[in-house]
Amino acid sequence: MKCPACGNELTGIDVGEITVDACRNGCGGIWFDQLELNRLDEQHETAGESLLDIERDPAVELDRERRRKCPSCEDMVLLRHFFSPLKMAEVDECPGCAGVWLDVGELALIRSQFATKEEREKAAEEYFDDLFGEELDKMAEEGEERLRKARKFANSLKFICPSYYIPGKQEWGAF
Ligand SMILES: [Zn+2]
Ligand SMILES: [Zn+2]
């Protein structure tokens, strides 16, 4: 598998029970297959620490603006979105296989945001309420069921980046 950022060959690194693909001696980025990142993105998930220090080749220049292609799918451009409502770190996610690419330093940034899954979910919820609170109040008046559905849908968007994940305007939404 080739590095989507610098073209170097990725190598597998065992982390606990999973194996991620890292750009060693290249740009230092890491590829996580679907759901792998979830197991390493919080501080208490100590296995992730070993990935904070991938050996890099200092001569490799990283163009963080350039869009990347999925290293695993054919001809699939990765979508860039914020990892969390704190909007600190951006990640590149494949719409095909749901793998995630992190540039060097991004895992550390992500791990520094929330200590636990609960903390992260709480932040997402607060962010969502901020954005759509009024809309949600309206829905609550119209019925609990509708509100529940809307929330479920919003949560399924994970970290809320409407332009990437929701084509067009949703009948319930404020996009
Ligand atoms: Zn690379
Ligand atoms: Zn893919």
pLDDT digits (tens, 9 = 90+) for 114-147: 777 788 777 777 776 776 667 667 766 777 676 6
The answer to whether residues 37 and 18 belong to one domain is: yes
Q: How far is the CA of 42 from the centre of ligand 2 (A)?
A: 23
Structural domain total, the chain: 2
Contact criterion met (CB below 8 Å) for 127 and 153: no
The answer to whether residues 54 and 122 belong to one domain is: no
* Reported pTM: 0.70
Contact criterion met (CB below 8 Å) for 41 and 48: yes
By residue range, what is the domain housing residue 157?
Answer: 117-165
Q: How far is the CA of 153 from the centre of ligand 1 (A)?
A: 35
The answer to whether residues 26 and 107 belong to one domain is: yes
The answer to whether residues 147 and 129 belong to one domain is: yes
The answer to whether residues 27 and 88 belong to one domain is: yes
The closest ligand to the CA of 96 turns out to be 2
